[in-house]
Amino acid sequence: MYKATLIAGLTLLMTLPVSAADLIRKSSPHSVAVTMDKLEAAVNSAGATVFARVDHAAGAAKVDLPLADAQLLIFGNPKLGTPVMQADINAGLDLPMRVLVAADADGSVFVTYRAPSTMAKEHAVPADAEVLKKITGALDKLTGAAIAE
């Protein structure tokens, strides 16, 4: 009985949405477009691959719906992502990496992304995996370049 209750509890925890603690949010002194341009340039300079740049606000405008300025960059580096997926192929649900640049109601711009450590929580990736440390450092460096003055 105890084991079944434990498994049910763990299953419930795994289905919970990402908490705010799992998100890393940085303030940008630039507009959404400038911040995103700087992020994309940093990603390209680092030798990673940009798979897509999604303009959420433009999409909303096409269907006559208002949305704050928001763009998403989807990018990755197989040297970092592949070992994570080798540990658990389901990590492909969280890869390649995604960074959102968006303006809030006050017009302040923020860069937001999921902490790579969430892959250890949600997939069979060891929490102390060196590759997660590398991804964490890379995301910090890339987003830092995007918000630099």
Domains of the chain and CATH, by start: 25-147 (3.30.310.70)
68-109 tens-digit pLDDT: 999 999 999 999 999 999 999 999 999 999 999 999 999 999
Evaluate whether 9 touches 3 at the Cβ level (below 8 Å).
no
Evaluate whether 127 touches 96 at the Cβ level (below 8 Å).
no
Distance in angstroms (rounded) separating the CA atoms of residues 93 and 119: 10
Does pTM top 0.75 for this prediction? Answer: yes
112-144 tens-digit pLDDT: 999 999 998 899 899 899 999 999 999 999 999
